[in-house]
Amino acid sequence: MKECILQLAGVEKKVPVGTPFLTLTASGCGIIAVSVNGQLKDLSAEINEDAIVEFLSFDSPEGKEIYRHSSSHLMAQAVKELFPAAQMTIGPAIEDGFYYDFDFERPFTPEDLLQIEERIREIIKRDLSVHRMELSREEAIALFKERGESYKVELIEEIENPPISAYRQGDFIDLCTGPHLPSTGIVGEIRLLAIAGAYWRGSEKNKMLQRIYGTSFPNKEQMANHLKNLEEIKKRD
């Protein structure tokens, strides 16, 4: 059996080709993704070359970004389950949190945010596995057209170098380069913070969308500390 040589924290380890990185981590250890020769990958990715490997947790900058980008997908899934007519656009991680922009027929309300938060908690409890999909441009366009996601189709049509990647968790699929958390159950605490307007692609010539901001942390204590800091900043302002 062919083997690859990995450098893990300065220690050399031989593993069979095709071994998922996930099998090299202990369950519940807080590892959420992996850096392979400097390239970020899902834990489900298979080992196929000699590499310098670094496992990432929430404590690393890259880990925080992956954690919160996955959190934005959780929020989008909750929105789509509750409001199927909402069109998804983009949803990146940002400093201290994430957002997702939606095209919806009416303004989201504070009550909607509470409902979305509750649905997010349900999706976390489902502990859905997150799977990477690689598609041709034609397959990706057909998939998102079938799902009625016109903004995603527009983005796909501009991608120059297939394959095009998307991520599936349960029935939810989103266009994304990744990487992402291996399951929805890894996310600890999510709080939705605000709603704002945002033009599609940042141009006032385009349609005004609704941007929902949120943040996420592995546990309640970290979330409470963050929200306390936000309140103190508001008081100073």
Phi-psi label, residue 157: left if phi above 0, alpha if psi -120 to 50, beta otherwise: alpha
pLDDT value, residue 25 = 85
Beta strands in 89-163 (DSSP E): 93-94, 97-103, 130-135
Where in the chain is CATH 3.10.20.30? 3-57
pLDDT in tens, the chain (237 residues): 788 899 988 889 999 999 999 998 876 678 999 999 999 999 999 999 999 999 999 999 999 999 999 999 999 999 999 999 999 999 999 999 999 999 999 999 999 999 999 999 999 999 999 999 999 999 999 999 999 999 999 999 999 888 999 999 999 999 999 999 999 999 999 999 999 999 999 999 999 999 999 999 999 999 999 999 998 888 887
Q: Is residue 148 left, alpha or beta, with left meaning phi > 0 and alpha meaning psi from -120 to 50? A: left
CATH 3.90.1150.10 for the 3-57 domain, yes or no: no
Strand order in the sheet with 164-169: 130-135, 164-169, 172-175
DSSP 46: B
| Check whether domain 63-130+171-236 has CATH 3.30.980.10, yes or no | yes
Size of the chain in residues: 237
**Global pTM exceeds 0.85:** yes
Q: Give the pLDDT score at 160.
A: 86
| Residues of each domain in the chain carrying CATH 3.30.980.10 | 63-130+171-236
